[in-house]
Amino acid sequence: MAEPVKAVAADGREPILQVRGLVKHFPLTRGVLVKKQVGAVKAVDGVSFDLYRGETLGIVGESGCGKSTVAKLLMNLERATAGEVFYRGEDITKLSGRALKAVRRNIQMVFQDPYTSLNPRMTVGDIIGEPFEIHPEVAPKGDRRRKVQELLDVVGLNPEYLNRYPHQFSGGQRQRIGIARGLALNPEIIICDEPVSALDVSVQAQVINLMDRLQQEYDLSYLFIAHDLSIVRHISDRVGVMYLGRMAEIGTDAEIYDHPTHPYTQALLSAVPVPDPEAREGRDRIILTGDVPSPADPPSGCRFRTRCWKAEERCATETPELAVPVRFRDEASPAAHPSACHFAEVRDVVGAA
C-alpha cells in the first residue's frame, strides 16, 4: 500500500487530494447456472494524480476512456478495485458509514445531465435543502430556508423560486441548481462531470463564468471532467489526458496544449475544430485510423499503440510509465512534464506558438 506522498507543488501548495494507482474493473460474467468471471472491463487501470487546493484540474479524453468512472470512484459511488485516494492524508476508498458521510461533506459533485440529476418530484428548495437534512449539523433547522435562498442568490437564480419544480427551469438554470446543491455543505472539492456539455453555447459561457467566480469566492478545488478541449483549457490550471483507462499525459494547460509530447494528445488536439477559418490551411491535422479498442481487451504495453503512427515493437512489450521523459528531464522547457510515451517529442498541433 502506497503512503500519501508528501508532494509539494513548485509554488509551495499542498495537494488536497492524492490519487494513487486507482483501478476499477467491471467483471464480465458468463455461465448458464453458475456465473463465472470470464474477463473484466478495465474502465480505469492505474491512474494517479494530485489535486491542489484552489486549482482546477481538467481531465479530458474521449468516451470510454474512464474519466467518468474516475469521478464516481472519487465520490465513492463505485468501489475501487485497487488503489488509494488520499484526502487530507486519509485513504477514503475503504471508508464506509459515518466516516464516509463525513468525507462527503467536503467532496461534492456536479452532474452532466441537468435533466436527470434533479429529482423531478421535489421542489428546488427541497433539492438544495436536502444536504442540510442529511447533515443536520451544517445548518440548524430554522436557518435552512434562509440558507437555501442565499445559495440560489449565489448561483444567480431568483431566491423566490424556492417552491418551483425542476421542469419549470431551462437547462442552464437547472445546472445552476445542481451547483447550488453541490455548494450547500461548503465543500473543499467539487468534482464536475461534464457540467456544461448538455448546454447551449451561449448558456455554457454563463455557467463557466459562474463556476470561475465561485472558485475564487470559496477557494474551491475543481476536478473538471469534459470532452470539450477548448472549455477545459479555458477553466483549467492543469490538464490530464486519459486514454483507455490510463493517464497519457499531464501538465499545466500551456504544457499540454502548446507543447504536447504524447501522440494521442497531439491527435486529439489536432482534431478539435478551431473557430477560425484563417487557421484552416495552416493547421497540422492528424487523422487517426480505426476505433478505440475495447476496454475489456486492451492492447498490451502502450494502450495507444494500435492507432499510433510511431508505434514500434517496444511499445507492445513495455508499458510506458507516466513520467517526465528522460530526454527532457534536465531541461527547464515546457516539454518537461509527465508523458506516458517511449518516443515523446513536442509537436505543435494547435498553432499557438
Residues 111 to 130 in contact with another protein, rule: CB under 8 A:
111-113, 116-123, 130
| Least Cβ distance, residue 6 to another protein (angstroms) | 29
DSSP 95: -
**Are the C-beta atoms of residues 93 and 83 closer than 8 Å to each other?**
yes
Among 79, 146, 280, 327, binds another protein (CB under 8 A): 280
Q: Should residue 351 be labelled a site residue for another protein when binding is judged by CB under 8 A?
A: yes
Instruction: Specify the stretch interacting with another protein by CB under 8 A; choose among 17-25, 80-88, 282-290, 298-306.
Output: 282-290
| Nearest approach, Cβ of residue 306 and another protein (Å) | 13
Positions of E strands within 80-236:
82-87, 90-91, 107-110, 189-193, 221-226
CA distances from 172 to 119, 155, 192, 211, 240 (A): 16, 11, 15, 12, 26
Question: Which lies closer to another protein via its Cβ, residue 18 or residue 204?
Answer: 204
* 139: its cell numbers: 445548518
Q: Which residues contact 204 (CB under 8 A, 6 or more apart)?
A: 196, 231
Q: How far is the CB of 7 from another protein (least distance, A)?
A: 25
- In whole angstroms, the minimum distance from the beta carbon of 228 to another protein comes to 8
Q: Does 82 bind another protein (CB under 8 A)?
A: no
Residues 344, 259: Cα–Cα separation, whole Å: 11
Please choose, out of 42-50, 85-93, 140-148, 198-206, the segment that lies near another protein by the rule CB under 8 A: 198-206
CB-nearer residue toward another protein: 4 or 171 = 171
Which helix (H) or strand (E) covers residue 218, if one does?
helix 201-218
- Our finding on whether 164 is near another protein (CB under 8 A) is yes
Q: Which of these ranges, 147-155, 168-176, 297-305, 328-336, lies near another protein under the rule CB under 8 A?
A: 168-176
Residue 298 in the binding site for another protein (CB under 8 A) = no
| Candidate list 10, 96, 142, 202; residue touching another protein; CB under 8 A | 202
Near another protein in 303-332, by CB under 8 A: none
257 makes contact with another protein (CB under 8 A): yes
CB 152 within 8 A of CB 128: yes
Which one among 19, 139, 198, 250 touches another protein, defined by CB under 8 A? 198
Q: How many residues bind another protein (CB under 8 A)?
A: 88
Give, in degrees to the nearest 5, the angle at Cα 286 between 284 and 292: 155
**CA–CA dist 256, 122 (Å, integer):** 42
DSSP, collapsed to helix, strand or coil, labels residue 143 as: helix
Q: Using the minimum distance from each CB to another protein, give the nearer residue, 19 or 199.
A: 199
Q: How far is CA 25 from the centre of its chain?
A: 18
Question: 244: alpha, beta or left, given left = phi > 0 and alpha = psi -120 to 50?
Answer: left
Residue by residue, what is the 3-state secondary structure of 315-337?
A: HHHCCCCCECCHHHCCCCCCCCC
Residue 288 vs 324, nearer CB to another protein = 288
CB of 316 to another protein, least distance (A): 21
Q: Are 260 and 334 in contact (CB under 8 A)?
A: no
Site track 204-233 with another protein (rule: CB under 8 A), x = hit: xxx-xx--x--------------x-xxx-x
How near is the Cβ of 2 to another protein at its closest, in Å?
25
Residues 12-51 that bind another protein (CB under 8 A): 30, 32-33
Which residues are 128's β-sheet partners? none
Report the SS3 class of residue 17.
strand
Residue 98 CB, nearest approach to another protein (Å): 9
274 binds another protein (CB under 8 A): yes
